[in-house]
Amino acid sequence: MQIYIHIPFCERKCNYCDFLSAPADPHVREMYVNALMREIRGRAGSVGREDAITTIYIGGGTPSTLSAKQLGDIFATVSQEYRVAPDAEVTVEVNPKSADRDMLHFLRGIGFNRLSIGMQSMHRSELELLGRIHTPEDFEACFDNARRAGFKNISVDVMTAIPGQNEHMLEQTMQKVISLNPEHVSTYSLIIERGTPFFEQFGDVEGPVVGEETERKLYWMTVDMLKSNGYRHYEISNFAKPGHESVHNTGYWKRKYYLGMGLGASSCLPAAGGDERCSNTKDLEKYLANPLTREESSILSRKDMIEETMYLGLRMMEGVDTDAFEKQFGVTVRSIYGDVIDDLVAQGLVYEGASSLTLTDMGIDYGNYVFAKFLR
């Protein structure tokens, strides 16, 4: 079982962000932390005491907008109420501007062992365009402080296809990242979402702002640079030094059970008749009043679970394990999707191995098209 905890606060909303997050004053943040700890205690009964928690991930928003003590209180409450495995992966997302040296030393000292730093770019002009509150110097200081605090598993987020970005600019960013030698790198292509300042600025753009051809060049350049420097490309957007793949995110792609807590957090839990997907209220006032309020809940059908297994599994470079699929569902992948597989193989989009189904390089470029083929 995995645990995800959502912190819906940030110092300032980024121009591209459509996540459930917003600025809040210290009083609201304190009320939220208290409500969150009530939820953590209240949900403990939904997880069997025999179920070890293998990962804890605190994301947002920007968790580092909370104080070190507040983050420590949240982690302590989880540790008290759940059986956390001794080797559990414990991750917290931080912004380089708000995670100072003292916070990082404190978090490492109480048991956080993985850090995800939202760098996005090493160009001041790109950071300003994105609406980020940090500078390249802030990121370098944060990374150095994290190493000095004892973090030996650091992930860095990089954004590609930023308006105006070219190969030279991204190459400079990637060279800096590679020189710092983080254990993990996540790369995300900018998508313009409705309701964001970027949507008002660039309009309802079909595809990436920089154009499909440039976006693909930037993506494959990033892949080549990271792979040639010892990173394993293990998921469409994620790269890791051997043994440092994100256990938590891999659990999502492999459909492991997880308990989500916090405003708007989603869960996937075992239930009679099929897996249950449920989510918390997105209304902050309702959450503060009763943090155990569910907004949505549904039992996945067998068809739902099969489809998820296919399109989530194909995101990983190892692909869908067809033997494991047959063991779980009692039928072969081919008995359901034989015609689809034949068509996609003929188009050069997937490769069918003895016990796996994986995307080809061209299949990665047309991933959404491929994934849609497995929805019936």
Domain at 311, CATH number: 1.10.10.920
Q: Tell whether 70 is covered by a domain.
A: yes
What single DSSP character describes residue 122? S
| Residues 89 and 148 both lie in one domain | yes
Average pLDDT over residues 121-126: 94
| Residues 246 and 329 both lie in one domain | no
In this predicted structure, what is the pLDDT of residue 113? 97
Q: Quote the pTM value.
A: 0.94
| Residues 87 and 206 both lie in one domain | yes
In this predicted structure, what is the pLDDT of residue 49? 66
> 238 or 24, which is more confident?
238
Domain at 130, CATH number: 3.20.20.70
Q: Is 367 helix (H, G, I), strand (E, B) or coil?
A: helix
Determine the structural domain holding residue 307 and report its residue range.
302-372
Count of structural domains, the chain: 2
| Residues 212 and 307 both lie in one domain | no
CA dihedral 89, 92, 93, 95 (to 10 degrees): -140
Q: Which helix (H) or strand (E) holds 234?
A: strand 232-235
Residue with tokens 């997302």, as numbered in its chain: 93
Tell me the pLDDT tens digit for each residue of 321-370.
999 999 999 999 999 999 999 999 999 999 999 999 999 999 999 999 99
| Residues 245 and 324 both lie in one domain | no
- Mean pLDDT, the chain, rounded, equals 93
Q: Give the neighbor-by-neighbor strand order of the sheet with 114-120.
A: 232-235, 238-240, 184-189, 154-160, 114-120, 84-94, 53-60, 2-7, 258-261, 266-269, 276-280, 294-299
Q: Tell whether 263 is covered by a domain.
A: no
Last residue of a domain, one of 220, 253, 286: 253
Q: Tell whether 278 is covered by a domain.
A: no
pLDDT above 90: residue 48: no
pLDDT above 80: residue 5: yes
Last residue of a domain, one of 213, 232, 253: 253
Q: Tell whether 270 is covered by a domain.
A: no
Which residues 6+ apart lie within 8 Å of 77 measured at CB? 37, 40, 41
| Residues 202 and 73 both lie in one domain | yes
Q: Tell whether 290 is covered by a domain.
A: no
| Residues 231 and 319 both lie in one domain | no
In this predicted structure, what is the pLDDT of residue 62? 92
Which residues 6+ apart lie within 8 Å of 218 measured at CB? 160, 161, 165, 167, 170, 189, 210
| Residues 245 and 348 both lie in one domain | no
| Residues 231 and 308 both lie in one domain | no
Q: Which helix (H) or strand (E) holds 26?
A: helix 26-43
| Residues 307 and 231 both lie in one domain | no
Q: How far apart are CA 344 and CA 32, in angstroms?
A: 48
| Residues 108 and 223 both lie in one domain | yes
Count the neighbouring beta carbons within 10 Å of the beta carbon of residue 147. Answer: 16
In this predicted structure, what is the pLDDT of residue 318? 96
Q: How far apart are CA 77 and CA 34, in angstroms?
A: 11
Q: The tokens of 199 are what?
A: 């949507």
Q: Tell whether 227 is covered by a domain.
A: yes
| Residues 213 and 91 both lie in one domain | yes
Q: How far apart are CA 200 and CA 194, in angstroms?
A: 8
pLDDT band (50, 70, 90) for residue 199 = confident
Last residue of a domain, one of 253, 272, 293: 253
